[in-house]
Amino acid sequence: MGPSVPGTSRARGKPGVAESWRLRLRLRLRLRLRLRLRLRLRYGVLAEGSPHGWQDVDGPTEITRHEFESTWAAAREILDANRTEETS
């Protein structure tokens, strides 16, 4: 057999491991970007920033379902109002 071409297997120039791996990484990145866009369109800005102001918190605190639902509803109203202002 002759010398092999980088990125291909020796048999009939089929993509080798390197090519297959690059394709997988590209597809995975594309899927992540699509998911992030879908989440951003559905929920608004995602929390990607630093946890500034949370350093002094000891840890998670249990709350009731009612407390969570009311806090979440209030936060959604603020986020939805901000998004309406941004698109106006």
Total residue length of the chain: 88
Q: Is residue 1 in some structural domain?
A: no
- What's the pLDDT at 88? 64
Reported as a pLDDT band with limits 50, 70 and 90, residue 2 is very low
**Domains: count for the chain:** 1
Is 2 among the domain residues? no
Encode pLDDT of 9-66 as tens digits.
455 556 677 788 888 899 999 999 998 888 888 877 666 666 677 777 777 788 999 9
Q: In angstroms, rounded to a whole number, what is the distance separating the alpha carbons of residues 85 and 43?
A: 15
- So what's the pLDDT on residue 31? 92
Q: Which of residues 16 and 5 earns the better pLDDT score? A: 16
Range of the domain at 67: 17-44+62-87
